[in-house]
Structure 1
Amino acid sequence: MDQDVELRHLRYFVAVAEELHFGRAALRLHLAQPPLSQQIRKLEEILGYALFTRTSRSVALTTAGEAFLQSARRTLRNVQRDLEEARSIGRGEVGSLHVGFIGSGMLATLPAIFRAYIEAYPLVTLRLHESFTAKVIDGLKEGTLDAGILRDGDPVDAFDVITLFSEPFVAVLPANHPRARQKTISPAHLRDEPFVYYPRSAGTRAFEKPLTIFEAHGFRPHIVQEASHWLTILRLVGAGLGVTVAPACVAGISSPDVVCLPLRDVKVVSNIELACLAGESRPIVQRFAQIARSARNIAELVIS
């Protein structure tokens, strides 16, 4: 018969136990007194023990009733907590979120996005995975990542991709380069320069897009050295191994042995993008996407 006990029986019992008066308990529960009395009697029948002693003047808990009151309160609290947890999960306010991101994004929009997200959803465990654009895309395909921050990602039909932020490319030269004192530089002036560049494995579009800047001037850069991180690339340029082209944000980690020059008459830009699976419906991912999209409206993140 235990399965016949319902949450309403517990709520009715707790109200009567706390009021020790059926009339006041009925008012509190917005019930008529006779149905309340009937439900308490049904609960006692299910339990097989009286929960109250009743006289014409008073109502008191029996020993079994006193013990059951603690259990009933605990059960109702647990149910309420479970309901709130389910609602929070439904709203995307708790759980774990795995986000892959490209390291150069940390020089632009990402710190503000991550900060805004953890402030808005402090109960979510945010798991961050730094990698190349191509690897982030692989993680999304494999399901090990819930969302990805890309730079000039290759198109994938299964993804929804939006641009969060765009920035120009700059030329990076050794500080002792003959053209280092210029305010700007034409891509054509780098025709005969050796280039330090990142590998194609980082992502085909990310690799090829900057090179189109030079192809428009009739040449493709001669890449003499590859490196996987912008800090390494800048140090190699500073050491005189060559020049490079980079998103403007890398100027934030440049050292005195290099200069970053705007490229003249170049309209090609680098895009930082948010990628999720097409039709993503999980609230926890949707909430992150909303905050990431808001980065486009934060003036302090714009690099001109």
Structure 2
Amino acid sequence: MILLRHYNGWSMELRQLRYFVAVAEELHFGHAARRLRIAQPALSRQIQALERELEVMLLFRNRRRVQVTPAGQVFLERSRLLLSRAEEAIGAAQRVSEGSSGSLKLGFVGSATYDAIPSILRCFHQNVPRVELTLSEMTVHVQLEALAEKRIDLGFLRLPARAEGLVFRTVSREALLIALPSSHALAQIPVLRLSSLAGEPFILYPDHPRPSWAEFIVGLCQQAGFRPTIAQRTVEIQTTLSLVAAGMGVSIVPACVSNIPRKDVVYRRLSGVRARTQLLAAYRAEDTSPVLRSFLRLMWQMLRIDRARAEQRISERMGHAGCEHGRSPSAA
């Protein structure tokens, strides 16, 4: 029951306003009662109680007709406005509670924009257009700080990260590629061993704070028998690729970066390297935000559908290859 209370002490219910509006619009208690689905005597009592409360005659009625008084006409206009505002307030509260309205602040590493993030954001916006998304490109450690300080609600980052009070879940796993200038001597070879890059200048991220992407790449190079020569350090993937294109070095990047090709950079697969990189979603364990839960629910649902489709395509290709392999020469 919602009450409206005036400083003079009187109170009324929104229900009474709806009753009055119905009678004022129908100009007939019987018709208004049917519209409201209540008994006519009960409706009459509510209108009388409202008039007593206000000490104002809102309706003139006799056995033949019902008329809205001048005071009632003013009250009718204000009542419609109040009811409309109440419905808006209720709807807004329900949308926030359901996670279909509000705001969400996201942090992400640059390479995530080449991965699943664009399709995730598109899916969320199509399903929940009332939520305002704020996106900020951040390094892994800046995201962890922003999550702890509640400056962002969700982060997309790489490396096996651990931080107290945070949940980390895998969004995607992918292979690593070597990024080379298109004019590089190794650019003509489709698959390279990491050891073939010994002596090449590398473009890497900063190595502090740790754990870092640079530390991860240096570890892979050491497993291949060499320590990389670091020519430049950058914090943005676009800068890394620009430096590679300029011939200032090579780099190792997530495979998703090749989704947006550049004519001056080529990407080559690595042989003998089993390491893969993960894109992780990170959020506060105690965060009960309906908007965050709505985003996560839609994201996991979309990713499950995408993986099922990818598995189906692989199965179909394998089946087709099996049919081709089993076909006799005479049938070909």
**Aligned mate of 1:279, from 280, 286, 299:** 286
Q: How does 1:237-256 map to 2 (within 5 A)?
A: 237-253=244-260, 255-256=262-263
**Aligned mate of 2:163, from 156, 159, 168:** 156
Could you say what secondary structure the match of 1:179 adopts? Answer: helix
TM-superposed CA distance for 1:16, in Å, is: 1.6
Pairwise CA RMSD: 2.4
TM-superposed CA distance for 1:230, in Å, is: 2.4
CA distance in 1, matches of 2:117, 2:241: 21
**Equivalence for 2:188:** 181
TM-superposed CA distance for 1:273, in Å, is: 1.3
Q: Structure 1 residue 4 and structure 2 residue 14: aligned?
A: no
TM-superposed CA distance for 1:205, in Å, is: 4.1
**Aligned mate of 1:214, from 215, 221, 241:** 221
CA distance in 2, matches of 1:54, 1:211: 89
CA distance in 2, matches of 1:203, 1:292: 29
**Equivalence for 2:322:** none
CA contact under 8 A between 1:295 and 1:301: conserved in structure 2?
A: no
Give 1:76's aligned amino acid: L
CA contact under 8 A between 2:205 and 2:213: conserved in structure 1?
A: no
Residues 34-85 of structure 1 deviation map (CA, whole Å, 9 limit, x = unaligned): 2222211111111111112221222222221122111111111111111111
CA contact under 8 A between 1:234 and 1:254: conserved in structure 2?
A: no
TM-superposed CA distance for 1:128, in Å, is: 0.8
TM-superposed CA distance for 1:296, in Å, is: 5.2
**Aligned mate of 1:92, from 81, 99, 108:** 99
CA distance in 1, matches of 2:17, 2:247: 78
Give 1:61's aligned amino acid: V
Q: Structure 1 residue 30 and structure 2 residue 37: aligned?
A: yes
Indicate the larger mover: 287-296 or 266-275.
287-296
How many pairs align? 303
Could you say what secondary structure the match of 1:18 adopts? Answer: helix
TM-superposed CA distance for 1:276, in Å, is: 0.9
Residues 220, 36 of structure 1: alpha-carbon distance in 2 compared, 3 angstrom cutoff: same
Q: Structure 1 residue 40 and structure 2 residue 47: aligned?
A: yes
**Equivalence for 1:118:** 125
TM-superposed CA distance for 1:257, in Å, is: 4.1
**Aligned mate of 1:77, from 84, 98, 106:** 84
Give 2:163's aligned amino acid: V
Give me the TM-score of the superposition, normalised by structure 2: 0.83
Give 1:217's aligned amino acid: A
TM-superposed CA distance for 1:176, in Å, is: 4.1
What is the aligned-residue identity percentage? 35
**Aligned mate of 1:132, from 115, 121, 139:** 139
Indicate the larger mover: 21-30 or 101-110.
21-30
Give 2:303's aligned amino acid: A
TM-superposed CA distance for 1:233, in Å, is: 2.2
**Equivalence for 2:3:** none
**Aligned mate of 2:75, from 43, 64, 68:** 68
Residues 267, 40 of structure 1: alpha-carbon distance in 2 compared, 3 angstrom cutoff: same
TM-superposed CA distance for 1:256, in Å, is: 4.1
Structure 2 unaligned segments of length 5 or more: list them: 1-7, 315-332
Residues 3, 148 of structure 1: alpha-carbon distance in 2 compared, 3 angstrom cutoff: farther
Residues 72, 190 of structure 1: alpha-carbon distance in 2 compared, 3 angstrom cutoff: same
Q: Structure 1 residue 102 and structure 2 residue 109: aligned?
A: yes
Give 1:79's aligned amino acid: A
Structure 1 unaligned segments of length 5 or more: list them: none
**Aligned mate of 1:295, from 299, 303, 319:** 303
